[in-house]
Amino acid sequence: MLGSVPTMVLFILLVIAYGLIVRRPLDRILAERHARTAGAVEQAKGAIAAAEAETNAYEEKLRKAKAELFEARERRLKQWAAERESALAQVRKAAQESIGTARQGIEQSVAQAKTQIEGTSAELTSRILKAVLPAEVAAEVSR
pLDDT in tens, the chain (143 residues): 567 888 888 999 999 999 899 999 999 999 999 888 988 888 899 999 999 999 999 999 999 999 999 999 999 999 999 999 999 999 999 999 999 999 999 999 999 988 888 888 878 877 777 777 766 665 665 55
Model pLDDT, residue 140: 65
What per-residue confidence (pLDDT) applies to 131? 77
Structure confidence at residue 125 (pLDDT): 78
Q: What is the pLDDT of residue 58?
A: 96
Residue pair 124/116 in contact by the 8 Å Cβ criterion: no
pLDDT at 143: 58
| Residue 28: per-residue pLDDT | 93
pLDDT on residue 134: 67
**Could you tell me which residues come within 8 angstroms of residue 133 by beta carbon, excluding any fewer than 6 positions away?**
141
Residue 141 confidence (pLDDT): 58
Angstrom distance (rounded) from CA 90 to CA 82: 12
According to the model, what pLDDT value does residue 91 have? 94
With a CB cutoff of 8 Å and minimum separation 6, the contacts of 142 are 126, 129
Tell me what pLDDT residue 2 has. 63
**HEC string of the chain?**
CHHHHHHHHHHHHHHHHHHHHHHHHHHHHHHHHHHHHHHHHHHHHHHHHHHHHHHHHHHHHHHHHHHHHHHHHHHHHHHHHHHHHHHHHHHHHHHHHHHHHHHHHHHHHHHHHHHHHHHHHHHHHHHHHHHHCCHHHHHHHHC
Q: How far apart are CA 14 and CA 116, in angstroms?
A: 147
